[in-house]
Chain A
Amino acid sequence: MKPRYTYLIMLALGMVGGYIAAPALLPLLGQGEKVTAKPTKPKEVAPTKTQQVADTQTKEEPEKTDFDWSGEPDDGLDRFADAEDPDSFKDGEEEDIEEDNDLEGENITPEKIAKYRRKGKGQGEDDGMRPVREPSFKAKMSPAVWKQPKILKRRLAGRLRSRLKGVDQDSVEKFLENPEVRLMLAQWELLNRCNLDDLSKLMKDRNACESLAPLLNDLQWIADFVYDTELTRAEVALGMLAHFRQVDPKMDEEILVDGGDKPSTAGLKRRVAGVIASEFVRNGWYGEDKELTKEELDSLKDLGYIMPNLPGKKGKNKTDIYRAGRERYLYFAESIDEERLNGYFSQLPTWLMRYCCGWKGNSAFGSAGTMRWLRDNCAAPARAYTGMAYQVPYLPTNVYGDSIFSQWYYQPFDVLYPDNFAKETRDVGAVCGGLSHFGTSAACANGVPAFTMGEPGHCAYAVYFDGKWHGANSLSEDRHPHWSTWGEHTWSALQMQTAMYQQGSITRDAQMVCTLATMLGSYNNPINALKLFELSVQMQPLYRPVWDFYMDTAARSLGKRPRKWLGVNEFVCTSITPEHPEMCSKFLLERIYPTMLKTLRSPKQKLAAFEAYFKNININEKAQWEFHLLLDMQYQSLGKARIHKERFMQILVDNVALHPEFCQMIAWAVKTAHGEGKVFYKKLLTMVEEAIKANPDSKDLMSCGVIRGAEEIGDIELANLWSADYMDIGKKMPEFEPTGGNLVSAGGLVTLSKYNDDQSSIIHHAAALTEKGGHIYSAFGKHQTVTVELPKKTRIGGIVIIPTNGCSSYRTWSIEISADGQTWKKLTDLPDSSKEPCMRICIKRSHPMAKFIRIDSGEDQLVGINFKAILIYDNKKAK
């Protein structure tokens, strides 16, 4: 070969080499981009020295403790020989625990609550975005002890009672400092939530017992499992968990990232498994309820399938009840292994993981195929999920012209999207429900907490980031989560639970105290149980279930002693009302008032109790809930004496003036006072005027309350009187031509079928009946109506309607008239759509006589009324 060819070949080789090596050399030359991210670690990595040391410390040498039952007895029960049986307690042993029969509600003081709250926040860890860290503790208990759960439960109780030195706060706090005690409490709580016979059957399966015991003896895991979930039918959840462990033998493997120094996902899959099991069982999401073939059963048995006893299920032992949960677990396990979830998922506390892992296990949007596609195609930072729904086009009718409400809408497309409903939805279209489910499913599939929720006539969703829930695709603040919080589907219950879990460590302690109280209660020690329940609510007043336990236990002690009831009422109002007035009102209505109001004979005492509620409100949020139930009950309990009723109104008005967002309560007061006669009515209005004088900033919203009340009772005079200051809203009206005749709507009264959350537009209703223009804004929904009551009966010559956002769509809207407000006659339909800024209806002949004019959006549309003006003219010659 000639040398010049050699050089040519070398040049060619150099080019190829350079092509391959260029990316690697670019940084050396300063031309390549800077890569900030580190390479990901392969799945199986040998542990580093640091980790090996840590493992040795945590696994091989657990803390020395007398709770060491590692002697491997045949049935494990010999180990209990030294454990006290609560049944064999001697009287003397309980002397340490002081019993105080004179339990006073006043024991619970705001100072105590403040003390606990300071403690919770002072630790700087409880922002709700990190798991509660329990001390590292694993008991060396033989798995066999779990085979006889009844005995285990009794023995645990015995041990706990023997260690408890008192039920005062200091003793209990000291008691809880011991990790062994914490583990025993969590174990007892778990057993308390199980059907022990079924658990015993489950644990007799050797595989199940051996795979579950390491979890049940690990303080961090079991405490998260028991306290951060809403565990029901725990034995079924445990069966599911045992199955997950059989299906995924690598569940306990720690995934190492960023060079392998730090196991960032330590215990993550175990935590996820627990969450999925608890949520799927809580919601009753099992597999197909069908008989399985022998082959199917055999294949399940190969997967370590344990046949659970499910009461009420047909074809018992013939159904793969773990299928749905298994699919979900395998999805998350695979996503964790491949690091496909949002990077912050592993840091989520268990209670937040519930939303992602517990996302609709019974819906096509929750299938593994759908979630996998969303994970790989819709990965975004948490906050971006609030807009993810809009990937789906809003199409009430598909390309074949079939309505979304018909069976035909998705049917032709199903074949193109097997097990991927999200992609089908994105490609075919949907309305609000599909959009919101898409956004939620995308978030959950990527490990970002989210859930769907109902709003009037609409489906929205919420996403959690920056420490709170954010509404998405939302039209209203009247929200009803499709997520059950303590059995409720209210936004306020969700907010309260979120606030509770955000105070992580303090909540965990309160929950453990609640366990202790339940345990003492179940062993005939109600006095100390009551004290502990009381301590628990002091520690965490937002923990709703403990209140029920407390009230159940306290009922006998509180009896008919007014002072005690007032104390409890005061405590509830000071601890819950400030930020959760709706939840507090529900609790008062359900648990406190029914007994307390019978016990309190003096109206003065009642007024003091009611005032405690109002004066403690400390948020400025619109009252979206049924507050009138609370107000009605309070008001009616005061009897007939007007002096007390006036005092009640005074308390209400004064406090609403301080938090005017609650102005709907003023509307309630106006309506109620109207029913009490003219004098009372006038007095109330004077009270409102004086309250506004004292709090001038509240004037607009307080006026809204009065005007709304006036509108609801049909008091034209009052509504116009209070609207007088708001007749010029300062916005330019579009040019329009009156229909002729004289304007007769001015001085009339507007009423809406459903008022919008935003009450502030109510003061502009009167102006909307004049040519200067105002604002009429209803809630969103079907069949929305706005009714105008004219000052007097008139022959109608024409109507001009000026919508706020132009005449885009008024299909199916109609105008009706009435002389008495009872019998209605249709005048005309509104035009479908128009580019004009207003709609003019001119009546040429047969001018109808009317006092009421009603505009109705019809049954078919989901709309909100949003008008600048409704102008009604008579048929006379204009003056």
Chain B
Amino acid sequence: MITRKPSKLFAVAALLLVQMAWGAQRADTFPEALEKAGTDGVIAYCYGPDWNARSVKLLQTFWKSPAAEEAAGDAVMVAVPFYERNDAKGAENAGRIRGKMPAPPFSVCPTVMFFDKNGVKYADFQGADYLGADDECTEGVNNIRKYVQALRKQQELMAKAEGLTGQEKAKLLVEVGKLPITKPADYLQQLELADPTDKLGGIRREKFNALQFMYKQLDTPDGFIKPDFEADYPQMKKDCLEIFEDEAYDARDRQAVMNLFIGQSRREAIQANQLKGYIKKVHKADPETDYGKLSPTLVNLWGNLKHKLTPEERKAAREAKRAKAKEKKARKRDERRAKDTIEIE
């Protein structure tokens, strides 16, 4: 059999070809990266050359690894230094490399920041929780892949949605809303136009704020509960269950709302079995969220609380409640009287 050795020149040419294909992913500065950016945008690795040896090490073992490049797809990758001291070696070039790139949240390094081709940040992650504890940052590589794919998906859905109207468009927009990255700037307006009656629930999902809901239920504008606060338990139950059972809302938001109701139920000392039932519902809604993971603990902690009360204590609690209600009634009566003479605007 005749075999021919490939020439060295060919091998080098092949290598260069490959390298050029991947070389386009790298840039020296953030402005240069934006210029080169395609649909996958720019991914920036923020590190601290003079103060954070760990991020410098990861620059080699993680950021420059083939795995990270593969995960980044066609995104342009750029390493951006953030110096602690201006007189540190190399600090004079930091401004040029960074350009108009925003600083990482809380200036923490290492941080990986994701920008679309227009330079708008759509995601970021930082620290060992998201990078992983190993030097190769396996977790970080997975996260890069996750966010780049989410951006692609978003672009794909938005492109499809552009030619549509009404419910069809709204369906796609709702899908966009579920992606783990920042939504396009005019997302809500588009959704309101496509689904003005909010049949698909995307608008209420987008506008819902669990914290505001909670503060409203607890009648507190700043989070500090009034000493004499008494919840309207039946109304709270109705409001909370209404949101919890509406799957249009984000699962974690639904769980948060249910958590408030569970907390209030505990304070109202309802039957243990009922309380356990509510806790299990939270778990079922999404076992993977932190609230979902907490459920078994809560069953143990609070599931049997009621039984710990002695009959005397229960009686005392009932009486205290009655006394409070009486006091509240008297106060309202006073307020009504005061209103006759004082008008507050």
Contact = CB atoms under 8 A, between A and B. Distances in A.
Contacts of A846: 341
A89 interface: no
Nearest to A376: B128
A34 B28 contact: yes
B54 A379 contact: yes
A218 B18 CA distance: 59
A828 B19 contact: no
Nearest to A859: B227
A845 interface: yes
Contacts of B17: 14-15, 18
Contacts, number: 253
Contacts of B211: 395
Interface in A148-180: none
Contacts of A840: 343-345
B102 interface: no
A342 B224 CA distance: 37
B260 to A, nearest CB: 5
A380 B82 CA distance: 10
Contacts of B14: 10-11, 13-15, 18
B55 interface: yes
A849 to B, nearest CB: 14
A3 B297 contact: no
A387 B106 contact: yes
A753 B293 CA distance: 49
Contact of B260 (A377, A401, A413): A401
B222 A396 contact: yes
Interface string B173-217: 000000000000000000000000000000000000011001101
B4 A843 contact: no
A812 interface: yes
A119 to B, nearest CB: 26
Interface in B49-81: 49-57, 59-60, 64-66, 69, 77-79, 81
B237 to A, nearest CB: 13
B109 A379 contact: yes
A378 B223 contact: no
A40 B53 contact: yes
B168 interface: no
B344 A841 contact: yes
Interface residues of B, number: 94
Nearest to B10: A10
Interface in A336-380: 338-340, 342-344, 373, 376-380
Given A18-B16, A340-B53, A839 B222 contact: no
Contacts of B53: 40, 257, 339-340, 343
A809 B344 contact: no
Interface in B223-275: 223-227, 256, 259-260, 262-264, 266-267
A839 B345 contact: yes
Contacts of A860: 224, 226-227
Contact of B11 (A14, A32, A379, A812): A14
Contact of A388 (B54, B89, B106): B106
Interface string A13-38: 11101111111011001011111111
Contact of B262 (A6, A340, A380, A400): A400
A58 interface: no
A427 B53 CA distance: 27
Q: Which of B17, B23, B266, B340 has the most CB of A within 10 A?
A: B23
Contacts of B127: 376-379
Contact of A10 (B1, B6, B48): B6
B18 A15 contact: yes
Q: Which of B54, B267, B290 has the most CB of A within 10 A?
A: B54
B3 A381 contact: no
A343 B84 contact: yes
A640 interface: no
Contacts of A344: 51, 84-85
B154 interface: no
A842 interface: yes
B243 to A, nearest CB: 14
A402 interface: yes
A18 B18 contact: yes
Given A401-B260, A411-B301, A846-B341, A19 B66 contact: yes
A397 B218 contact: yes
A641 interface: no
Contacts of B26: 26, 31-33
The 8 closest A-B pairs by CB, nearest first: A14-B14, A18-B18, A400-B263, A377-B127, A384-B107, A376-B128, A37-B56, A381-B84
Interface of B: 1-6, 10-11, 13-19, 22-23, 26-28, 47-57, 59-60, 64-66, 69, 77-79, 81-85, 89-90, 93, 106-109, 126-129, 133, 210-211, 214-215, 217-218, 220-227, 256, 259-260, 262-264, 266-267, 290-291, 293-294, 297-298, 301-302, 338, 340-345
7 contacts: A343-B53, A377-B129, A381-B48, A828-B344, A831-B345, A842-B345, A843-B343
Interface of A: 1, 3, 6-7, 10-11, 13-15, 17-23, 25-26, 29, 31-40, 257, 338-340, 342-344, 373, 376-384, 387-388, 390-391, 394-403, 408, 411-413, 415-416, 427, 808-809, 811-812, 827-828, 830-834, 836, 839-846, 860-861
Given A840-B344, A842-B343, 12 more contacts: A10-B11, A14-B17, A20-B66, A36-B90, A342-B84, A377-B126, A382-B84, A415-B294, A427-B290, A841-B343, A841-B344, A842-B345
